[in-house]
Amino acid sequence: MRPLAEVGAGIRLQSALVARTPAQLLVLVTAPLFSVIFLSLAVHGGAASRVASAMIAPGLMSMWLISLDVAASVLSEDRYGGRLELFLSTPASLSLVVLGRILAVSVVGMLAFAESWLVARVAFGVTVPVHHPAMVVLALAVTVLASSFTATLLASAFVLSRSLHVYQNAMSYPIYILGGVVVPLSALPGWVDPLSKVVYLSWCAELLRNSFTATRVPEAGLDVAMALGLGVLALGIAVLLTRHILDMLRRNATAGLG
């Protein structure tokens, strides 16, 4: 089970790095502020039915943001730190190690959901009931995995970029919009809908919202399958793309820039 060991190596390394650099989790500080904004709009804007969505949105945004942040920095830092060249001399799969590193922070990113739930309770006096606890756990696990798989693909694409923070910023709000996180997809123009279907976050958001609110979770299986399917597809492309990029770096002698 060497692939799992490589993912595990990435998780342990990133956990140790985060312990030494807690600023990587800064998003957990800003998430409650987003919760205040969204919950204010829901509670005081007369949209009480949307409280659960308002509580979930900061969690989803934080998880994507934290995954994206690691994805953008992990390979470029290794490249400029002279570690990518050493990595090339090992038999390990770079994609799987990167996946492990992203997973380590994505899991911690789940705390943003708890923060948001507490903000609703403490600041607004609203308790969001959990109708399907098991489904919520499953939805969170699927969201963590799909976010990490997708971010791994972006990490591969970012490695060649010298303006990665520009791309990193550009990859945040479009995903929130297409994922129906900030504004419900039903409120957006019709042409957005087909695009949102290929964004894993839209399926995760749907699954989470239904887990908190619906008395029964309609099409939960489809939501899980689509979120994971899109994530696995992204990971598969990441593995192939990384292989291609590393071959290119070996050909062009650009693995060790910096």
Q: Return the H-helix or E-strand segment holding 214.
A: none
The Cα 28–Cα 189 span in angstroms is 32
- The reply to whether 240 sits near other proteins by the rule CB under 8 A is no
Length of the chain in terms of residues written: 258
**Residue 100 vs 231, nearer CB to other proteins:** 100
State how far the alpha carbon of 239 is from the alpha carbons of 23, 64, 95, 189, 236, in Å.
29, 20, 6, 34, 5
- The one-character DSSP state at 52 is H
**Residue 137 vs 248, nearer CB to other proteins:** 248
Q: Which of 240, 244, 73 is nearest to 158 (CA)?
A: 73
State how far the alpha carbon of 232 is from the alpha carbons of 153, 172, 237, 245, in Å.
10, 20, 9, 19
| Contact assessment for residue 109 and residue 27, using Cβ atoms and an 8 Å cutoff | yes
Which residues from 3-32 bind other proteins, rule CB under 8 A? 5-6, 8-9, 12-13, 16-17, 20-21
Which residues from 50-109 bind other proteins, rule CB under 8 A? 81-83, 85-92, 97
**Residue 40 vs 90, nearer CB to other proteins:** 90
The Cα 8–Cα 57 span in angstroms is 29
- The reply to whether 2 sits near other proteins by the rule CB under 8 A is yes
- The reply to whether 237 sits near other proteins by the rule CB under 8 A is no
Contact range with other proteins by CB under 8 A, out of 41-49, 106-114, 117-125, 243-251: 243-251
Contact range with other proteins by CB under 8 A, out of 1-9, 61-69, 150-158, 228-236: 1-9
Residue 84 Cβ, how far from other proteins at the closest point, in Å? 9
**Residue 8 vs 229, nearer CB to other proteins:** 8
Residue 165 Cβ, how far from other proteins at the closest point, in Å? 20
Q: Which of 213, 211, 94, 201 is nearest to 144 (CA)?
A: 201
Q: Which residues of the chain form contacts with other proteins (CB under 8 A)?
A: 2, 5-6, 8-9, 12-13, 16-17, 20-21, 81-83, 85-92, 97, 247, 250-253, 255-256
